[in-house]
Structure 1
Amino acid sequence: MTWVDARLTEDGSRLARHLGNLWVEWDAMGVPLPETLYTSPLARRLETTMLVYEPVMAKHGRSLRPVVKELLRERLTNHTCDKRSSRSWIAETYPEYVLERELEMVDTLWKKDRYETNDEHVARKRRLLEDVFANDKSTFVSLTTHSYAISAILEVVGAPHFRVSERAINPLLIKAEEVEGEPRGTDW
């Protein structure tokens, strides 16, 4: 069975819409909106980003312009659900999304006979965070990603490990501060 770039399930859509409604409520309470939205290039997260943020952005007259980041995707396994669709499919399906230059036309990261080790995945998430912190001057950003990716991010920032379950939406807040005298990207 092939399940290339698995789409969001009905239950996943329901949960994403629920989180979108929560954002509208949080906004009414004064919770600041993310200035930059980043999303995984996998179809299920592209749709999640739209369902979660479109209602609250529309309320403010802001267009939904998330940045699609290749390094934000799930841990790479030989499962076909981890193979992403082409750059052209993403551009055609989500024309309002901004595709980073590093997003190649076809998925060159996924291999049918290779699992990314946890160390490799954590290193990829470290590169992602270093890129975001070095190049995005926003105070508040959103990363829409996957369960194993969240676990890897927790490891990068030195947070206590917990297993994020699939089919769940887990808001996670990370505060990053540059430490004076420390080389950038070495201390989280």
Structure 2
Amino acid sequence: MLNNIDVIDAQINQQEANEFRTLLAQQNAGKTKHWDFEVIAGQFKQSNKSTDDTTFNYLQENFGIETSWKEIVEELTRLNKSGGSNVVYKVFFLARHGQGYHNLAHEKYGNDAWNEYWSKLTGDGEIVWGPDPELTQLGIDQATRNNQEWKVQLDQGAPKPTKFYSSPLSRSIDTLIKTWEDIVQLSNIKPLIKENIRETTGVHTCDKRSTKSKLSEKYSPLGFLFEPGFEEEDIYYKDDVRESVSHHALRVNESFQQIFDENEHENQVIGITSHSGTIRASLLALGHREFAVGTGGMIPVFVKGERK
């Protein structure tokens, strides 16, 4: 499931965590309202510090449930009924896209050579990984495997997400499609493509997205929508500046602020398909322990949001 690169990409050092908290406090000081997030323990094994993320296999562990799906759903419903007007609880299924051609190249050249040289190019004559690379056949197979396991878990009482969000990078959108295509009617669900849940941006050409026109031609007929203000060109990618973990977590936090605002009284269970860096940033923003997720992997998180 995991390789060494997946583990490295999930790590957050104390300086990065402290910088995020400082930036977040400064941002919140300028707002009249914001959501504070907290992970509810005892629901999923991944939030338990005793769970070894390097050996844990969510596909063999009923996605990591500590009790039963029935108890988790009942607890989610109970907490939302008793939480008060400023408190909302949600379960997020944070999915990582299946293997893309950039992941294949990253493994081929190793972490140091990839970050220092190859990631800045668009290919090596054999593999094309930028911009906006496609899924490999393994990546497609990983999404298909998730589709099969979701059917098993749904039969056992797992709650089906009623709202879906995706990164604007094609590998995430294609993973969402392959995971859910015959389980939900995407044209009715209308997944929302959001910029702020994209991968760490800058320098690595694989993290530059396609134009809105190209994405719209491919995905709008399937029911995907773009968030308001979505630009034609990728205005966030920079050739010479790589986003820090703390700044990535800050923008991911902004997405969770919007998601809680938009779904305050509905959609208790939400699916988000993104990237390893985005999941790392999401876990930091939500107050979850760091946890490595391999390509095509997924982690569920039970979250309390309190409006301050």
Equivalent position of 1:159 in the other structure: 288
Equivalent residue letter for 1:69: K
Equivalent position of 1:142 in the other structure: 271
Among 71, 77, 85, the alignment partner of 2:210 is 85
TM-score, structure 1 normalization: 0.88
Equivalent residue letter for 2:300: L
User: Please, which runs of 5 or more residues in structure 1 have no aligned partner?
Assistant: 184-188
Task: Decide whether aligned partners of structure 1 residues 52 and 31 sit closer, same or farther in structure 2, where only a CA change above 3 A counts.
Answer: same
Give the Cα–Cα distance (whole angstroms) in 2 for the partners of residues 83 and 171 of structure 1: 23
Check if 1:47 corresponds to 2:171: no
Equivalent residue letter for 2:136: T
Task: Decide whether aligned partners of structure 1 residues 164 and 178 sit closer, same or farther in structure 2, where only a CA change above 3 A counts.
Answer: closer
Check if 1:133 corresponds to 2:260: yes
Moved over 6 A (4+): none
- Percentage of identical aligned residues: 28
Give the Cα–Cα distance (whole angstroms) in 1 for the partners of residues 189 and 239 of structure 2: 33
User: Please, which runs of 5 or more residues in structure 2 have no aligned partner?
Assistant: 1-120, 123-129
Check if 1:29 corresponds to 2:156: yes
Task: Tell me, yes or no, if the aligned pair for 2:195 and 2:230 is still in contact at 8 Å.
Answer: yes
Quote the offset at 1:62 in angstroms: 7.1
- Per-residue CA deviation, residues 121-158 of structure 1 (Å, 9 max, x unaligned), is 01011101111011123110000010011011111112
Check if 1:104 corresponds to 2:231: yes
Give the Cα–Cα distance (whole angstroms) in 1 for the partners of residues 305 and 166 of structure 2: 24
Equivalent position of 2:85 in the other structure: none
Equivalent residue letter for 1:97: F
Quote the offset at 1:88 in angstroms: 1.1
- Once superposed, what is the RMSD of the aligned Cα atoms? 1.7
Q: Name whichever of 24-33 and 88-97 sits farther off.
A: 24-33
Task: Tell me, yes or no, if the aligned pair for 1:70 and 1:102 is still in contact at 8 Å.
Answer: no
Task: Tell me, yes or no, if the aligned pair for 1:27 and 1:56 is still in contact at 8 Å.
Answer: no
Give the Cα–Cα distance (whole angstroms) in 2 for the partners of residues 107 and 175 of structure 1: 32
- Per-residue CA deviation, residues 45-104 of structure 1 (Å, 9 max, x unaligned), is 01001000112115xx97452111110100113111100001111111012201111321
Task: Decide whether aligned partners of structure 1 residues 158 and 177 sit closer, same or farther in structure 2, where only a CA change above 3 A counts.
Answer: closer
Give the Cα–Cα distance (whole angstroms) in 1 for the partners of residues 159 and 187 of structure 2: 13
Q: Relative contact order, CA 8 A, sep 6+: which one is greater?
A: 2
Q: Name whichever of 128-137 and 107-116 sits farther off.
A: 128-137
Give the Cα–Cα distance (whole angstroms) in 2 for the partners of residues 91 and 162 of structure 1: 33
TM-score, structure 2 normalization: 0.55
Identify, as 1 or 2, the structure richer in strand: 2
Quote the offset at 1:109 in angstroms: 0.4
Equivalent position of 1:186 in the other structure: none
Equivalent residue letter for 2:232: M
Task: Decide whether aligned partners of structure 1 residues 123 and 98 sit closer, same or farther in structure 2, where only a CA change above 3 A counts.
Answer: same
- Per-residue CA deviation, residues 26-63 of structure 1 (Å, 9 max, x unaligned), is 222221210001010001001001000112115xx974
Task: Tell me, yes or no, if the aligned pair for 1:34 and 1:141 is still in contact at 8 Å.
Answer: yes
Equivalent position of 2:299 in the other structure: 172
Identify, as 1 or 2, the structure richer in helix: 2
